[in-house]
Structure 1
C-alpha cells in the first residue's frame, strides 16, 4: 500500500489517497482505517449495522491481535521494535478508544475479511502514529505483514467472535440471575395464595399461586444453566490454524505459544480445538449456543404470556394478579392500562428466534473447507444476547418486581364449580360424582361440601 494526500473537491474534506492492485481510493486524512476497509464499505454494505456498534467484538479482536503480536515476537517473526507499538495500539482499542473507526458492515460477505482488515489497518496506523509516522504510509508497521503476521481472517475472527459472545453473555448472565431471584421471591411470597389452575384453558383444580411461580423459576433456571454451558464452551477456538486448519503460514513456535498468550491477554480460560479442520468447516458450536438462547427466549414467551393472561381484565378477565402500571395503554380508552412490559419481552423473544434462524442457516450453508457465513452467525448471537439482556432487565425492574396478588379474585376463582367437584371426587369417586353432576345442578353439588 502506498499513500498520498489530495484535496477532494466533491465533499470539501481533506483526504489521502491509498493504492492497491485494484486502483486508488480517497480516504479521510485523519481516518485510522485504510483502503481495504473502504473497499468493504463500498462493496459489501447492506445492513446499516456497523462493527463499531459491537464493542465486545472490537476488544476481542484487539486481544487476539495482541496475543498474536506477543507470540510473533517470541517466535522471531517480528522484532520488538514492531511488536511493541502494535501492543500499545491494541491496548488503546481494549480500553475502548477509537471504536468509531470500525466502519465496516457487521454482516459483510467475504468470510469476515473486511472485519480483519479494518482492525489490521487501524492498529497499523495507530502503531505508526505512535512511532511518529504518517497515517496511510504503513511504515514501519504494515497491516498485513506485521499486524496480521501468522494469522488469517478465518482463525482471527473465529476466535475473537467467540470471545466476544462470552463477554456479551456476562451482562446477560447477571440479568437472568436477577430475574430468577425475583421470581423465586414471588413464589415464596405467594405460597399461601390459593387460586384456580387451568388445563386446555378450562377450569381445573385448586393450586397455590406460589407453586405456579415456582414452575417459572425452575424452567428459567434450567434454561439459564444450559445457555451458560453452551456459551462458555465457545472458548474452545482455532487460533493458529490460519485459513482451513492446516496452520500453513504460522511457524511452529508461534503456534506453540499463541493460545497461552491469548489466555494471558484475555484472562479467559481459552483452549485450542482438537481438530482445526473441523473448526474451519463447521460452526455447530455456535448453532448449539444459539439454539439454547432460542430455547430460553421461547420459555420466556411462555412466562410473559402467562403473566399477561393472569393479569387480564381487570373486570372481564382472569385478574388474579396485578402488574405494575407504567404508562397509558390506549389513545382511545381513557384509563386503560395494558401489559406493555410482558408484551415487550415477548416481542424481543420473537427477534431472538429470528436471530437463531440466521445462525442455523449459516450452519446449514457452510461448504467444503471454510464456513464463510460464520461472521453472520456470531453477529446474530450477539444481537440476540444484547436484546435478551436489555429486555429481561426491563422485565425484572418494571414487571416482575411489582407483581401483586388480587386476593379477592383468587379466592373467588378457587371456589368455583370445577375445584369443588375435584374435592368431591376425592370423597365419592369419579363415577359417583359424574352421575351426581347429571342429576343435580351446580349449586346443589356445591352445598354437599359445605
Structure 2
C-alpha cells in the first residue's frame, strides 16, 4: 500500500505520495486537470527550461544578498539535477491547466525545494528549511517564471526542428540530383503543361522547405526577450532593484542563449506576439510540407491507372479486401500531422487574443499547441525522410512516353508557328489522337529537321535563344 505525507496550503491539508518530490499544489493540479493526457514530462526541454529559470533566479537572488551561500549552493545543485532530466517524472501535471501556469511553476518550486531539502539532510516537506515559495520562487511570480521557461524551451526545441528540416531538405536535394536526367511532363491545374526534369521537381521540394529554415530561426529569435523580474504584472513588486537585468544576464550565461530583459516589463508580461509569429512559421512549413506529400501521392498513383511516375517504398499491405494494393501511407500520415499543426496554429491565435489586461491566462494551451506541433513535426519529418523520400525511385520510361505523347509540348512551337496555329494543332491532336509532331509535319508548318530540334525535350527545360528556322 502506498504511503503518504500530509502537506497543507491555502485550501487545507492534502495527502501527497511519500516518495514524491512534488508537493501539495502539484497534487491539486493532478487532481484537477485530467485533460490532454500529455504531461509536463512529455516535453523534456520544457522541464529543463524550468530548471534553467530557477537556477538563474537563485543565482541572481544570491548575488543580490537575498539567499545565504549554503542554501544557494544546494538550490543550485537541485536545479542542475532537474536540468539533467533525472527528475522529469516528478512533473506529472497536464500540459493544459487553468491558473495561467501557476501549477507548473509550483510543481517546479516544490520539486526543487524537496531535492534541496534532501541535499541539506532534511526530509521532503520540511519547508521551514527550504520553502517552494519563499526560497525557490523568491523575487518571482508565475507570470514571469512560466513564460520565460516556455520561451527558453521553444528556442531550444526550434534547434531540433530545424535540424530535422535540414535533413529532409538534403534528402530531397539528393533525389533531385539523382533524377536530373529523368524528363517528364510538368502540370498546371492537373493538366499537361510543359516538359521538365524530375530533378527540377525534387529540387523545388528542397528549395521550398529550405526557405522555412530561415523563417523559423528568425522568429525563434523573439524568444530571447524575457520578462524575468516583472513578477506579477510587470511592475517588479517583491523583486529588488536591478534584478531583471541581472537575471537575464545570468540566464544568458547559464543557457548559452542571447537572453535579454524586455525593455518594458508591463508590456512584456501579457504579450504573446512571439508565440503567434513563431506558430505561423510552423504553419507555413506544414502547409508546404502537406502540398509536397499531396504531390508524392499523385506522382505515385497507379500503378496501371494513374500517373505512376515514381515508386514510393512499400510499407504495408494496403487493403483488407483488395489483394496486391499498396497505399502511400507515409505521405498520408504526414498530411495528417500537417492538418494538426494548422489547427494548433488557430488555437494559438485564439489563446493569444484571449488575454485580458495585464496577463494572458491562456498560455498553457498556447504552450501545449506549439510544443505539440514541434513534437509532431520532428517525428513527421524523420518519418517522411527515412521511410519514404530516400527510397523513392523514378519510372523513367513512363515519364518519357508521357512527354512524347503529350499535347503540352505544343507550347514550345508558339515562337515558331504562332499561338493561333499552335492552338489549332493542339485541338486537332486532341480530337484525332494524332501526335503534335505528326500534325505539324502534315500541315507543313515546319521542316522535320527544325521540328526535331525544337521539340527536343532538352531544349524545353530551360530558357534558351530562339532556334533559327
For residues 194-228 of structure 1, what are the alpha-carbon distances to aligned partners after superposition, in whole Å with 9 as ceiling and x for unaligned? 11111111112111211222221221111221112
Other-structure match for 2:343: 354
CA distance in 2, matches of 1:146, 1:418: 77
Q: Secondary structure at the match of 2:14?
A: strand
Other-structure match for 1:5: none
Q: Is the 8 A contact 1:62 1:90 kept in 2?
A: yes
CA distance in 1, matches of 2:118, 2:275: 37
Instruction: Decide which of 35, 50, 64 is 1:46's aligned counterpart.
Output: 35
Other-structure match for 1:185: 174
Flag the 1:137–1:209 CA change in 2: closer, same or farther, 3 A: same
Instruction: Decide which of 359, 363, 384 is 1:374's aligned counterpart.
Output: 363
* 1:371-410 mapped onto 2 (5 Å cutoff): 371-410=360-399
Instruction: Decide which of 17, 25, 35 is 2:24's aligned counterpart.
Output: 35
Other-structure match for 2:333: 344
Q: Secondary structure at the match of 2:15?
A: strand
For residues 252-291 of structure 1, what are the alpha-carbon distances to aligned partners after superposition, in whole Å with 9 as ceiling and x for unaligned? 1433411111112112111112221121122011010000
Q: How far is the alpha carbon of 1:38 from its aligned partner? A: 1.1
Q: Is the 8 A contact 1:74 1:254 kept in 2?
A: no
Q: Is the 8 A contact 1:49 1:105 kept in 2?
A: yes
Q: Which moved more, 1:128-137 or 1:254-263?
A: 254-263
Q: How far is the alpha carbon of 1:174 from its aligned partner? A: 1.1
Other-structure match for 1:79: 68
Q: Secondary structure at the match of 1:78?
A: coil
Other-structure match for 1:325: 314
Q: Secondary structure at the match of 2:407?
A: helix
User: Alignment length, in residue pairs?
Assistant: 439
* 1:271-282 mapped onto 2 (5 Å cutoff): 271-282=260-271
Other-structure match for 1:6: none
CA distance in 2, matches of 1:438, 1:255: 74
* 1:257-296 mapped onto 2 (5 Å cutoff): 257-296=246-285
Within the alignment, does 1:109 sit opposite 2:93 as a pair? no
Other-structure match for 2:156: 167
Unaligned runs of 5+ in 2: 442-450, 453-469
Within the alignment, does 1:420 sit opposite 2:409 as a pair? yes
Q: How far is the alpha carbon of 1:17 from its aligned partner? A: 0.9
Other-structure match for 1:443: 434
CA distance in 2, matches of 1:282, 1:90: 27
CA distance in 1, matches of 2:87, 2:426: 76
Flag the 1:55–1:142 CA change in 2: closer, same or farther, 3 A: same
Flag the 1:421–1:74 CA change in 2: closer, same or farther, 3 A: same
Q: How far is the alpha carbon of 1:145 from its aligned partner? A: 0.3
Q: How far is the alpha carbon of 1:439 from its aligned partner? A: 5.9
For residues 385-434 of structure 1, what are the alpha-carbon distances to aligned partners after superposition, in whole Å with 9 as ceiling and x for unaligned? 11100110010111111111101110111112323322333421111222
Flag the 1:313–1:73 CA change in 2: closer, same or farther, 3 A: same
Q: Secondary structure at the match of 1:372?
A: coil
For residues 51-103 of structure 1, what are the alpha-carbon distances to aligned partners after superposition, in whole Å with 9 as ceiling and x for unaligned? 12111111101111001111001101111122111111101111111111112
For residues 284-309 of structure 1, what are the alpha-carbon distances to aligned partners after superposition, in whole Å with 9 as ceiling and x for unaligned? 11010000001100000001110110
For residues 18-51 of structure 1, what are the alpha-carbon distances to aligned partners after superposition, in whole Å with 9 as ceiling and x for unaligned? 1223111011111111111111222233222211
Q: Which moved more, 1:288-297 or 1:395-404?
A: 395-404
Other-structure match for 1:235: 224
Which aligned segments of 4 or more residues in structure 1 are displaced greater than 4 angstroms? 436-440
Q: Which moved more, 1:398-407 or 1:35-44?
A: 35-44
Q: Is the 8 A contact 1:133 1:139 kept in 2?
A: no
Flag the 1:134–1:191 CA change in 2: closer, same or farther, 3 A: same
RMSD between aligned residues: 1.5
Q: How far is the alpha carbon of 1:189 from its aligned partner? A: 2.1
Other-structure match for 1:204: 193
Q: Is the 8 A contact 2:405 2:435 kept in 1?
A: no
CA distance in 2, matches of 1:309, 1:26: 58
For residues 358-383 of structure 1, what are the alpha-carbon distances to aligned partners after superposition, in whole Å with 9 as ceiling and x for unaligned? 11111111111101112221221111
Q: Which moved more, 1:283-292 or 1:20-29?
A: 20-29
Q: Which moved more, 1:378-387 or 1:182-191?
A: 182-191
Flag the 1:14–1:443 CA change in 2: closer, same or farther, 3 A: same
Instruction: Decide which of 208, 213, 234 is 1:224's aligned counterpart.
Output: 213
For residues 121-154 of structure 1, what are the alpha-carbon distances to aligned partners after superposition, in whole Å with 9 as ceiling and x for unaligned? 0111110111111111213111000000000101
Task: Report the TM-score, using the length of structure 2 for normalisation.
Answer: 0.91
Q: Secondary structure at the match of 1:429?
A: helix
